Each structure stands twice: as C-alpha cells, then as structure tokens.
Amino acid sequence: MKKLAMILLIGAGFFMSGCAPKYDYTIHKPKVRYKTPSKQALGKMLPETHGKKYVWAEEGPRSFDCSGLTYYNYGSMNLWLPRRAEEQARMGSKVAVNDLQYGDLIFFDTSGKGRINHVGIYVGNRKFTHASSKSKCVVTTSIDKPFYRQRIVVCKRVIPSVPAAPRREQPTVPSTVVIASATKPAFKPKAEPLRLASNDTETPKKVKLARVSKNNVYNSDRIVTTENSSGSKSLY
C-alpha cells in the first residue's frame, strides 16, 4: 500500500510539471533608474540590452520579447507603457517614417494578418533596435530592409519633448559711453592790495624805479602810487 502511494505521488509530480505553463505571464515592473524620460537616459540603457536572449512573454532584465524590451526600457525611465505591442501603439503622437527621432517606436505587422505584432525602438541612421524572434536575441536592424519596410504600420513618439528655455533679452549697450565729469576751475590766487604797516607814521619817501637798461631809461610800464600823511596821492 505504501509502495502504491509513493508511485502515485511521483506520477502526480510528473503530471503537474508537464502541465505547468512554459512561460511566465507575470508582468515584472523594472526598477526606475531615471525619474524623467529622455533620449540621453535611453541611450545609456538600450546598449545594455543588446544581445540579450529573446524569450516570448519576458520583459527583462535577462531576456525579452519585442514589447517586453520597450516596456522595460521606458519603464526604467518612469514612462509606463502597456505590456503588449498592439496596446503600446495607441500611446504617444504619430510621426512619419522620415521624421523619426531617437527613441521613437516603430510598430509592424510581420504576420501579414492585419494587426500589430512587433515593435522596435528607433536609434537613428534609419535603424531600430528590437527583440527578434528570428535572431533569438536583441538586435539592431535597418528599417530599409524590405521585410520590415513593407510591414511598418505606424510610428509613435512617446518621449515628451523638452520645451526650449525662454530666451532672455540682453539690454542694449551703446557703443560709446560718455561719462560726464565735473571739472574744478583753476585756482587763481586773490590779489592783495599793497598796504603800509600801521606803525609807519612818516611820510612815505619816493620809490625809485629800477633801471632796466644801460642807457639809464626807466621802465615806463611801472607806476607807483604812494599816499602821504595828508591823504593826497602822488604818482612817481
């Protein structure tokens, strides 16, 4: 009886393992590495996923499917997309193929059934990075490759554009600046009149004019005025 119970237990284990799901359908949110989504942040993370294994229904960090790759990278920038490619195509704003910028999403109908079933991230130079089921890993491919170019359904821009900083007007500075400065008038000493000492009570004597030449000619430009004790003035 115990032997039979052991056999049944082992058989149940094999049965349960055979019926166990092959894929992990649980959605695992990535750790937020950048609080604000930007092309610069994406440019640092996306190369880290290059060459990682393709596994259907996986969203990293060791393996990805196509929409899992976009879900992981944009979620790491705090930009949360739906998990499936068809739902991701409803996000963002539509852009033309010739207007693609780094980080835009490109959606494809690779099955030819009229529905979106693949997505990639545009990385410039007319190339996109995607988790390819054919290559079995994350690769970079040209959008001009006929298989993909003919199967593009829509392109979307989901990274918000950074508004340009307002331009500050600089004050107009004249080419020549004239600064007025106050100039002080030249100092001119005040002329003092010739005065006699107060204790001089004698009648002033005549003042002889200095000779200015050898021929005993007096200088006619000098006139000396004296005042005697009577108050009358005399010219010499």
User: 117 vs 2, 74, 143, 146, 159, CA distance in Å?
Assistant: 53, 19, 16, 17, 21
118 catalytic per annotation: yes
Task: Give 18-25 contacts, CB < 8 A, sequence gap 24+.
Answer: 23/55, 23/56, 23/57, 23/58, 24/57, 24/58, 25/57
Q: How many helices (H) and strands (E) does the chain have?
A: 5, 10
Place of tokens 């058989």: 11
50 catalytic per annotation: no
Count of all residues that appear for the chain in the document: 236
Query: Which amino acid appears at position 221 of this protein?
Result: D
C-alpha triplet 42, 46, 47: angle, nearest 5° = 130
Contact 95, 159 (CB under 8 A): no
Of the residues 19, 28, 50, 66, only one is catalytic, namely: 66
Of the residues 19, 28, 50, 118, only one is catalytic, namely: 118
Q: Specify the 3-state DSSP secondary structure of 75.
A: helix
137 catalytic per annotation: no
Q: Specify the 3-state DSSP secondary structure of 6.
A: helix
Of the residues 19, 130, 137, 155, only one is catalytic, namely: 130
Q: Which residues are catalytic?
A: 66, 118, 130
